[in-house]
């Protein structure tokens, strides 16, 4: 099992999405810009995300997931769900609104409809993403991928009528894509699952089985992390949801079940950390000590204090991260929070910048 050095800093995945994405998207719809123009904008924002993560001192970076979206509506699930659903032939191109939060019945997601079998040979674009980001990155590159539970549970299923079987086929799809990804040289993989708290125990156990199928036979030198959160719906006039808090936090937090995932570590919200006490074994835990729902930039000292509050967690097991992605935050706020994580690392390692 590969371990990161104590207090390694990594991101959850998404970087700040520029507000002008929305305007460019409208110009493409009006025919005043081509889709290729938007692709160029996505490419340049990916380069900026790499630069800002590395400038801030992040140890394991991503491409910011900025090529996965053309706007920030329904964020972040449109980049986690629709981007991948559109690549899988079993999912129909049409979407239907689906309520996704017990907090507000007016919050919905444009959910895809599964009307055919999920082909495990489908290319999800992960290798292309890894090669593109790696061309510009100086730090190790992590590729994030939505887990089988979220991909299945939010969709409308008109083919399987059996959620565990649908998740199993999605697990096989991820397994094949992870095989290609590691063969391309990727050493850092992350699976994202934000929907476990609202699901019942048996559903999550089936999801654990599907994830273990996905990561089976991953080479021993590849780091596999699972990010578990409870939603990150943005708040503000640019977004469809007006929830400024977690929106998948209704139910039992199931660390006792999800720790059966045979991964190298978990990334979680900092106030959920203690659920994992006694369950990790020798695995690592990423403490999401930077709060993405807070528009204020934390100090490094505050981030360090949030981590030190969990005295049972050994330094060798501790990763520094954020509670979720930065997609909805202004660029300067996201950059400030990245720097705060690096400052916290310096404090926790007993040195100054």
CB atoms within 10 A of CB 29: 10
What is the tens place of the pLDDT at every residue in 123-141?
A: 999 999 999 999 999 999 9
CATH classification of the domain holding 135: 3.20.20.210
Banded pLDDT at 187 (limits 50, 70, 90): very high
Strand 91-99 relative to strand 108-114: parallel, antiparallel, unpaired? antiparallel
- Give which of 18, 25, 58, 57 is closest to 39, Cα–Cα: 25
Sheet with strand 156-157: strands edge to edge: 91-99, 108-114, 156-157
Q: Give the sign of the dihedral formed by CA 151, CA 140, CA 223, CA 305.
A: negative
Closest CA relative to residue 291, chosen from 250, 249, 244: 244
How would residue 248 be classed by pLDDT, with cut points 50, 70 and 90?
A: confident
Residue 154 has pLDDT above 80, yes or no: yes
Say how far apart CA 62 and CA 46 lie, in whole Å: 9
Q: Which two tokens stand for residue 23?
A: 């305007």
Q: Check: CB of residue 80 under 8 Å from CB of residue 192.
A: yes
Task: Give exposure, 86-100, as e/b (b: 16+ Cβ within 10 Å).
Answer: eebebbbeebeeeeb
The boundaries of the domain holding residue 130 are 18-54+62-265
- In total, the chain counts a number of residues equal to 353
In contact, 59 and 10? CB cutoff 8 Å: yes
In a domain, 306, yes or no: no
Is pLDDT at 76 greater than 60 in this prediction?
Answer: no
**89 lies in a domain?**
yes
| Closest among 173, 188, 200, 282 to 227, alpha carbons compared | 188
The token pair that represents 213 in the structure block: 């199928």
> Does 278 reside within a domain?
no
Residue 310 is predicted with a pLDDT of 98
User: Scanning the structure block, which residue is given the tokens 């590729």?
Assistant: 143
Q: Which helix (H) or strand (E) holds 93?
A: strand 91-99
Q: Are strands 284-290 and 318-322 parallel, antiparallel or unpaired?
A: parallel
Domains in the chain: how many in total? 1
What pLDDT band is residue 241 in, cutting at 50, 70 and 90?
very low
Burial class (CB within 10 angstroms; exposed 0-12, middle 13-18, buried 19+) of 115: middle
| Separation CA 56–CA 2 (nearest Å) | 24
35 closest CA partner among 67, 62, 64: 67
Residue 24 lies in a domain: yes
Q: Computed from CA positions of residues 63, 65, 71, 74, in that sequence, does the dihedral angle turn out positive or negative?
A: negative
Cα 170 from Cα 188, distance rounded (Å): 20
Q: How many helices (H) and strands (E) are present in the chain, helices listed first? A: 11, 10
The pLDDT score that the predictor gives to residue 295 is: 86
Answer yes or no: is 120 within a domain.
yes
**104 is a domain residue:** yes
pTM of the predicted structure, to 2 decimals: 0.94
Closest CA to 322 of 290, 285, 344: 290
The string of pLDDT tens digits covering residues 269-281 is 999 999 999 999 9
Whole-angstrom distance, CA of residue 146 vs CA of residue 216: 17
Residue 2 domain-assigned (yes or no): no
Average pLDDT, the chain: 92
- Find out whether 57 and 8 touch, Cβ atoms under 8 Å: no
Q: At 352, is the pLDDT very low, low, confident or very high (cuts 50, 70, 90)?
A: very low
- With respect to residue 333, please indicate whether it lies within any of the assigned structural domains: no
């Amino acid at each position: 099992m590969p371990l990161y050095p104590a207090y390694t800093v990594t991101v959850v995945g998404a970087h700040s999405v520029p507000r002008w994405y929305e305007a460019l998207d409208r110009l493409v719809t009006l025919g005043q810009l081509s889709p290729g123009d938007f692709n160029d904008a996505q490419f340049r924002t990916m380069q900026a995300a790499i630069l800002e993560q590395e400038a801030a001192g992040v140890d394991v970076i991503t491409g910011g997931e900025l090529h996965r979206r053309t706007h920030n509506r329904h964020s972040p699930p449109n980049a986690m769900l629709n981007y991948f659903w559109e690549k899988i032939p079993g999912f129909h191109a049409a979407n239907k609104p689906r309520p996704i939060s017990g907090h507000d019945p007016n919050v919905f997601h444009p959910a895809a409809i599964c009307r055919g079998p999920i082909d495990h040979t489908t290319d999800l674009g992960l290798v292309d993403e890894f090669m593109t980001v790696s061309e510009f990155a100086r730090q190790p590159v992590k590729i994030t991928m939505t887990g089988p539970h979220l991909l299945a549970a939010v969709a409308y299923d008109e083919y399987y009528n059996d959620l565990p079987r649908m998740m199993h086929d999605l697990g096989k799809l991820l397994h094949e894509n992870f095989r290609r990804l590691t063969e391309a040289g990727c050493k850092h993989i992350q699976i994202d699952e934000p929907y476990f708290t609202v699901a019942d125990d048996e559903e999550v156990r089936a999801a654990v089985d599907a994830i273990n199928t996905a990561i089976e036979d991953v080479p021993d030198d590849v780091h596999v992390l699972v990010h578990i959160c409870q939603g990150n719906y943005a708040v503000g006039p640019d977004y469809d949801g007006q929830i400024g808090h977690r929106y998948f936090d209704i139910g039992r937090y199931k660390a006792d079940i999800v720790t059966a995932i045979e991964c190298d570590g978990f990334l979680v919200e900092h106030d959920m950390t203690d659920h994992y006490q006694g369950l990790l074994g020798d695995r690592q835990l990423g403490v999401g000590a930077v709060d993405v729902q807070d528009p204020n930039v934390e100090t490094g000292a505050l981030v360090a204090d949030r981590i030190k509050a969990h005295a049972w967690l050994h330094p060798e097991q501790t990763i520094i991260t954020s509670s979720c992605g930065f997609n909805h935050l202004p660029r300067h706020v996201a950059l400030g929070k990245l720097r705060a994580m690096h400052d916290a690392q310096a404090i926790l390692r007993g040195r100054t910048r």
